[in-house]
Each structure stands twice: as C-alpha cells, then as structure tokens.
Structure 1
C-alpha cells in the first residue's frame, strides 16, 4: 500500500459540511486554476507545528509572523534608504 496523501481534489465533502470553503482564505484552499501545478507537488504534513486541522480564523498563526517581523524591522532598526538596483542609479524622486 502506498504511503501517500490522497489527492485533495478527489476527497468528497463530508455530509453537513457543504460550504466549508467560505470559512478559509482563498489562498489556503486548493483551486481548480492551480490543479495541474498542485498535483505535481510533494505534499507533507507539518505535524510538529500543526498536528491537528487548522480551524477557521486560527490560520492567522501561519501568517502573523510576517506582519510582526515587518513591523518590528521598520520600527526598531534604522534601515538605509534604497538606492536602486545598482550603486550608480539615481535616487531622484524617492522619498
């Protein structure tokens, strides 16, 4: 018996759970527009950090570190202004 996850596009919705997709952000769901790419990827369960199903509105845990890190870096550390892609590029028009 193969030790693989079932194809998420082929798993039927359990009775009484119709419309469950509306509780999650679109980018956390499998979509038909990305089906060919998603079926070619290697998927694994991150049981260390998420041993159980992530409930709606708890999925913010997967994203909140981006906002926190961005806010901390811009408020705590003095970052130099960007000067373009090369050192000789002009910064005219930059704030």
Structure 2
C-alpha cells in the first residue's frame, strides 16, 4: 500500500517513474499469485461437477475479499476518527510542544 502512495516531494517525472514501477511490480506480483491459484482448481478433481463447485467457491471468496478490502479504508477512517488522533494536527508547533511537555 505504501508503494502506491505519491512521494510527497518529487518532480512530475519522478512521480511518473515511481508510479510506473509500482504499477508494473503490482501486476507482476499478481500474475505470480493468480496463475498458479487459478490452475490449482482444475488439478484438484477429475469430476466436472466438483470442479465447477471449486471454481464457484473461489470466485465467491474472491468477491468477498474484494468487498472487504474496499470497505476497510472506510472502517479504518471511522475508527481513527473516534480515537481523536488528529485533533492537535492543526495547532501551531509551539502549542503542540506545550501539550507534549504538560
């Protein structure tokens, strides 16, 4: 996840190169994982009906994982908002230092 975030202080060219490398590495890693995972279901059974069930189950679990991953940022934001971690972020540095020393 950190690789997909923009580097904060970089030129447009550096950010473009960074994104291109991160994008390529992500899909390369996905290929290394997905190809064997998708081929495994066909090797688990000789029965056609059993293979259909296996493919259905893997597709259903993939969908659940995607929905969980999509909802995770929203849940984390709500959880972090309840912790009040950013309450002091907008205060001047001198005030924050006084709060830390108190």
Q: Same fold (TM over 0.5)?
A: no
TM-score of the two chains, using structure 1 as the length reference: 0.31
Structure with the greater alpha carbon radius of gyration: 2
More helix by share: 2
TM-score of the two chains, using structure 2 as the length reference: 0.29
Query: 1 or 2 for the larger relative contact order (CA 8 Å, sep ≥6)?
Result: 1
